[in-house]
Chain A
């Protein structure tokens, strides 16, 4: 999903028109950016209803502060920032009562070890990763979603997360390290994909 934070042709004048009171411009603004905002909210919350609430809250906020939005660059980084903040403020309480991750992982790993190798790439592995993503610290989780789901570049993800590129790299590194540690050694890679061929280099 190509996402860029630089001004796109369709962005030109959109925020300015909103600021001048053009209601159609706000609808266009909503339709242009609803998808990435909703995707981020859904990836973090995993709850379609909550994600839609956050989507609405994000655009209501954008409308209220439209006079302060910059017109010389894409509003998407700002929208993504607001979205992640809304998500983590909403799910803070749910995290506190979440089931301990270690127990879940232990159960899944116990099941996995009793099954043949061909299911290494199965639902259980993905489920372990899903739980692992949920358990990541918010900053690492945001980095993973921005970089690996949205496909932002390091610079763009860093801009959204309001950090420098080195920090973004560090967050991604620690996130992958944490996710990899959750998987049992023999299940860290699907069968046949564990070795990189030198030809790919």
Chain B
């Protein structure tokens, strides 16, 4: 039997208070002939003894105080059960905060919807034709989109009409030269 195996198994026996049975005769033989293992096992046993002493010292001379039960009793049996009204009142303290939260959510939602409707401004075509253009222009203040809308507008589509590639485009596309200049947005 190797020292490694003997130590492991014997230490387990000692540490966990297991009985050494007939199968332990090999361990015994090993211990008789191996001073290193005897010392190793002895050290481990001494450590466990010292550990027990150290743990026992932690609790020696101490006990729960006589007032411990009184304290527990006050917090349990003698504690008056709170009526339903008191419990409702306790939760009621959160009511203003809840109302404030709901209001803030509602305001944020309404303002967001108002902004989105204002930016789309769908109007029938006929109504637009009836407007007096000049008056409309005069009455319209110099409106500039806010800074945050500038970054949300769609970037301008590059126009190639009149550009340096305009003349070459029909040839590139294989179409006739009578094709109207390409401009505006692609459909």
Which of A26, A59, A196 meets B42, CB within 8 Å?
Answer: A196
Within 8 Å of chain A (Cβ to Cβ): is B103?
no
Q: Which of A42-50, A85-93, A104-112 contacts B (4 or more CB under 8 A)?
A: A42-50
- Residues in A with CB closer than 8 Å to B51 are 129, 133, 144, 148, 176, 179
Within 8 Å of chain A (Cβ to Cβ): is B16?
yes
Nearest-Cβ distance from residue A24 to partner chain B, whole angstroms: 10
A180, B44: Cα distance in complex, Å: 8
* Contact in complex: B69, A176 (CB < 8 Å): no
A188, B54: Cα distance in complex, Å: 14
Which of B35, B42, B57 meets A126, CB within 8 Å?
Answer: B57
- Residues in A with CB closer than 8 Å to B43 are 180, 188-189, 194
Nearest-Cβ distance from residue B81 to partner chain A, whole angstroms: 12
Within 8 Å of chain B (Cβ to Cβ): is A5?
no
* Contact in complex: B28, A56 (CB < 8 Å): no
- Residues in A with CB closer than 8 Å to B31 are 196, 198, 201
- Residues in A with CB closer than 8 Å to B49 are 193
- Residues in B with CB closer than 8 Å to A43 are 55, 58-59
Q: How large is the interface on B (under 10, 10 to 19, 20 to 34, 35 or more residues)?
A: 35 or more
Within 8 Å of chain B (Cβ to Cβ): is A130?
yes
- Residues in B with CB closer than 8 Å to A23 are 77
Residue-wise, chain B 135-150 has the 8 Å CB interface mask toward A (1 for contact) of 0000000000000000
* Contact in complex: A126, B54 (CB < 8 Å): yes
- Residues in A with CB closer than 8 Å to B75 are 56, 60
Given contacts A30-B72, A43-B55, A121-B50, contact A196 B77 (CB under 8 A): no
* Contact in complex: A148, B55 (CB < 8 Å): yes
Residue-wise, chain B 8-51 has the 8 Å CB interface mask toward A (1 for contact) of 00001001100010001001100110010011011111111111
- Residues in B with CB closer than 8 Å to A42 are 58-59, 62
- Residues in A with CB closer than 8 Å to B72 are 30, 56, 59-60, 63
- Residues in A with CB closer than 8 Å to B59 are 39, 42-43, 149
Residue-wise, chain A 13-52 has the 8 Å CB interface mask toward B (1 for contact) of 0000000000100110011001100110011001010011
* Contact in complex: A189, B15 (CB < 8 Å): no
- Of A121, A149, A190, A195, chain B has the most CB atoms within 10 Å of the CB of A195
Within 8 Å of chain B (Cβ to Cβ): is A173?
yes
* Contact in complex: B68, A188 (CB < 8 Å): no
* Contact in complex: A52, B65 (CB < 8 Å): yes
A158, B142: Cα distance in complex, Å: 80
Nearest residue (CB) in B for A173 is B15
Within 8 Å of chain A (Cβ to Cβ): is B56?
yes
Nearest residue (CB) in A for B57 is A126
Within 8 Å of chain B (Cβ to Cβ): is A76?
no
* Contact in complex: B58, A52 (CB < 8 Å): no
Q: Mind listing 7 A-B residue pairs with CB under 8 Å?
A: A27-B69, A27-B73, A56-B71, A144-B55, A169-B16, A180-B44, A198-B38
Residues of A within 8 A of B (CB): 23, 26-27, 30-31, 34-35, 38-39, 42-43, 46, 48, 51-52, 55-56, 59-60, 63-64, 121, 125-126, 129-130, 133, 144-145, 148-149, 154, 169, 172-173, 176, 179-180, 183, 188-190, 193-198, 201
Q: Could you list 14 further interchain pairs (A-B, Cβ under 8 angstroms) beyond the known A43-B58, A130-B58?
A: A34-B69, A51-B62, A63-B77, A126-B54, A129-B54, A176-B48, A180-B44, A188-B47, A189-B46, A190-B46, A193-B45, A194-B43, A197-B38, A201-B27
